[in-house]
Amino acid sequence: MTASPTPQARPEAAASAPRTAAEQAVWAVLAGVNDPEIPAVTVVDLGIVRRVEVGAGDAPVRVVITPTYTGCPATDIITFLIRTALETAGFAGAEIVQEIDPPWTTDWISKDGRRKLREYGIAPPPGSTSKRALLGESAEIECPRCGSRETERISQFSSTPCKALHRCRSCLEPFEAFKCH
């Protein structure tokens, strides 16, 4: 079996890894599976898909995913959407496996995914995990509407467990931001 990407690899690094035609076909299908809670991004954009394994012959496709949070309420729906998309594309009997170690990190969101989040009105996490660890709570969240860094968190909780509610002090608009981890 061929694996892609490695668990620690960022999605854009994995995108350049050599793949068989079958792997490319599976990745193309997965790139069309939108996140059920944030339909502007796909499960590939968010880095939820860790690896695709395609065996020889009649061996089923194996897709390894990591939820953004352990216990994420959308995980079962994501699994269903992936399985349905693969079956529709002719990959019947695909096995969808969850791995939670190492845990998902916002570093796995692709550059394209970050752009799509911003365009959708959700602030992507600033910088890398290691940079945020140094900055702590002082890491600036940029308003996805006006670009101002004059923002404040008004609630640790938002519409999903992986986002917090913020407000821009410049344009006064509220917005969601991915929690950093």
pLDDT(155) > 60: yes
- 108-142: pLDDT as tens digits: 999 999 999 999 999 998 766 655 555 555 467 99
Residue count (the chain):
181
Residue 11: the pLDDT is 46
Residue 87: the pLDDT is 96
What is the H or E stretch that residue 49 is in? strand 49-53
Please list, residue by residue across 45-80, b when 16 or more beta carbons sit within 10 angstroms of its beta carbon and e when fewer do. bbbbbbbbbbeeeeeebbbbbbbbbeebebbeebbe
- 3-50: pLDDT as tens digits: 444 334 444 445 446 578 989 999 999 999 999 999 999 999 999 999
Residue 7: the pLDDT is 38
